[in-house]
Amino acid sequence: MEAVVVSISVVSHDQLPMVLRLMQDAQRVCAGVAMEWIVTLNTQESAEPLASLEAAAFPWPVTVLRNPTPKGFGANHNQAFARAQGAYFCVLNPDIRLHDCPWPALLQAMQQDSVGVVAPVVVGPTGELEDSARRFPTWSMLARKLLGMHRRIDYVLTEDRAQREGDVKGGCRTQGGANIDAKVGIEVDWVAGMFQLFRREVYARMGGFDERFFLYYEDVDLCARMALAGLRAIVCTASRVEHHAQRASHRQLRYLRWHVHSVLRFLCSDVYRKLGQRRQDGQLGRQT
């Protein structure tokens, strides 16, 4: 059997129809990638899609993990990582759709040792750029966001810059002066957990996600810890996926509570304090 290159972790909250569509997308467009899928069932699943998953014949190994009680985002992916065999570990939301295979370009971007995590450009169903790459939050930034005064996205990707920078497909123009690396894409502060690709040894060295964040901001925290360790977060402009957002925190009070709790945990953490110190020392970009 061919050695696994990419281990893909997907967590389902009674979302197996979406998971199956995503896996079928991968089967259609990623025939040349040696991968395995680890699907975590975090809640009770409907019988019909579960039977469809168990009966499906995919060309790569599929491991199904069943939680007796629900776990948080970080705990689920850390659990999957403990079972993963690949040299690279990919965290993926079930509401992602693939029209082209994203992994070859992402793996190419990973060849620089200074890169800790890579993500594709993420667009919505109608092609609009999503805010999947962001700057580290500050108290003032969050206050402006609460008042509706903060810009919708921190990093703007445009194809016209691509031709000037010599990137493979698409380049970037950024608000706030982010670094552009024509070989890999755009360097950002953090990339959202809807799609993150890590080198196995980096994920292990960082200890994976901090499981004290039950939901939200575990992706911010991990990218912040990587930044403190001298590792870069990159959006690979040669790779693009579609996201059908399931923004529960905008609709349900318990998700909003988790979101607020996670924001406060991060802003009161030693990681955030160290980021602030690095910024004062001029080792990180200044933010307002």
pLDDT value of position 202 = 98
- Which residues of the chain form beta strands (DSSP E)? 6-12, 35-41, 62-66, 88-92, 96-97, 115-123, 133-134, 155-156, 173-174, 180-181, 185-188, 190-191, 195-199, 232-243
Is 220:104 a contact under the CB 8 Å cutoff? Answer: no
In whole angstroms, give the CA distance from residue 279 to residue 285: 6
Give yes or no for residue 159 having a pLDDT over 60.
no
In whole angstroms, give the CA distance from residue 57 to residue 126: 31
Question: pLDDT of 72-117, one tens digit each?
Answer: 999 999 999 999 999 999 999 999 999 999 999 999 999 999 999 9
Rg for the chain, CA atoms, rounded: 18
Q: What average pLDDT score do residues 14-19 get?
A: 94
Other Cβ atoms less than 10 A from the Cβ of 154: the count is 20
Q: What average pLDDT score do residues 239-265 get?
A: 83
Closest CA relative to residue 285, chosen from 181, 179, 183: 179
Q: How many CA atoms lie within 13 A of 136 on its CB side?
A: 25
pTM above 0.95, yes or no: no
Contacts 24+ apart (CB under 8 A), 199-204: 199/87, 199/88, 199/89, 199/110, 199/115, 199/116, 200/7, 200/84, 200/86, 200/87, 200/88, 200/89, 202/116, 202/117, 202/226, 202/231, 203/81, 203/89, 204/81
Question: pLDDT of 44-63, one tens digit each?
Answer: 888 888 888 888 899 999 99
Q: What average pLDDT score do residues 228-246 get?
A: 93
**Which domains, from first to last, does the chain contain?**
6-280 (3.90.550.10)
Residue with the bigger pLDDT between 121 and 2: it is 121
Give yes or no for residue 151 having a pLDDT over 90.
no
Is 268:228 a contact under the CB 8 Å cutoff? Answer: no
Query: Considering only 88-92, 107-111, 155-159, 246-250, which range has the smallest mean pLDDT?
Result: 246-250
For residue 112, the SS3 value is: coil
Give yes or no for residue 162 having a pLDDT over 50.
no
For residue 41, give Cα distances in angstroms to 215, 243, 266: 16, 20, 27
